[in-house]
Structure 1
Amino acid sequence: MDEIIKILEKYEINIIGRVWIKPIALPFVGRSVYTSSIQKIASWFQSFLLDKNTNGMIIADSRDKGRNSIVPHSIFTQKYKRSGDVYHHILEVPLFVHSDNHAVIQLTDLVVSAIVFPISTSVYCSKYLNNSTHHNPHFLSIRERFGERLEILQYRFQESGRTCGGITVSDPLGCKNGSKIFRHK
């Protein structure tokens, strides 16, 4: 993971993403979570592209056809609405690929599964989980090792007087904010 973070730092990769802490004993509405998440990520990516004065595309890790199709459709409706394209620097609706064929998606999978997920389960879910598969007290050492470096890699920007972007967290259980992923205080 040290080498992967070095690659991201060397090429000045910027990270944006959303972490959702699922509520306990309440339904988790995946469709609305995925579509609202991709819309927020597309909005942040649009801001990034404006900052860099360039165009780009969203390439996401594939799940299955049914779940994939709702995500680009939520962007399609915003790109081609009558009042104008809100994502004019994003050239196409999100594309889906299989991670085993794409190195950048593999890097993303590794960062999420080896850094963001274990930190998130430890910080946001530790008092609700009693299994070692998703929670281990040693996961906090991952935050100590990579938290600050991951925080620096985020793409953050100002919008209407607020800081936006980066890795955000929706935590209905403990109402903790996203900064806990990167540092204790």
Structure 2
Amino acid sequence: MTDDQIVVNKMEYDDFSWGTPWRNFEIICEGSSLYVNPGWLAEMSEFFKERCRTENNLVIEYVPYNELLEFFQCIFYCPMRKSLSSNNILIVYRLSKLFKMPTVTARCNIFLKNAVKNFDRNKLVQAARELGDDSNSHTMSLIVDRIANLSDYDLSTMEFSELPGDIVANVFNNHHMKKQKKNKKRGGICSIM
């Protein structure tokens, strides 16, 4: 190869469809097999700790295959770890909670803190629904504030029936307080003139 030749390899994320001496724990989901490293998974997850020690495989029926694959691609380095994105963050967050993986949940929270400002209305509702069980977290506060800052029209057309009541109450309380604060500022400016 000469110096002026450039070789570009497209990096593919692993599909976990084949085992190796280290990835010998089979997870069966929707009739397909995913092979993972049981030691690493057990160290990261209370959920998998017991199952990897006592079983050779595990059937997971309550998670769609494509979501489980996306989750594994985001937590394993095989050969590289897929980045968190707006498209996969809620899947990874939900499964990290389900499988009791606090380090992955923490990574998701860091991503969400930075990304929530760019979420559209629908993504905000999805995020609030996924994080609903953690209503006192800083990340949830950011999501509630972001929803509360939406216009009156956007709020009036949102599907709040999918959200826990305390989150809806927090959104409307924050929205009401912001409107009152804005009205007080307007009143103060008018009285000066």
Tell me, yes or no, whether TM beats 0.5. no
Higher helix share: 2
Q: Give TM-score, length-normalised by structure 1.
A: 0.24
Larger Rg: 2
